[in-house]
Amino acid sequence: MIVLLSQTKLPDSSNQVSDILGAVHNRIRELASQTNMTREEIAKAVGIGVATVYRVLKQG
d(CA 27, CA 33) in angstroms, rounded, equals 10
CATH level 3 topology of 14-59? Arc Repressor Mutant, subunit A (1.10.10)
d(CA 36, CA 38) in angstroms, rounded, equals 7
**Tens-digit pLDDT profile for residues 33-48:** 998 999 999 999 999 9
d(CA 21, CA 56) in angstroms, rounded, equals 11
Q: Output 60 or 27, whichever has higher pLDDT.
A: 27
Of the candidates 5, 60, 6, the one whose C-alpha atom is nearest the C-alpha of residue 28 is 60
pTM, whole model, 2 decimals? 0.69
Q: What is the DSSP letter of 48?
A: S
Q: What share of the chain is helix, strand, coil (3-state, %, to 5)?
A: 70, 0, 30
| pLDDT of residue 9 exceeding 70 | no
Of all residues in the chain, what percent carry a pLDDT higher than 90?
58
Q: Domain boundaries in the chain?
A: 14-59
| pLDDT of residue 6 exceeding 60 | no
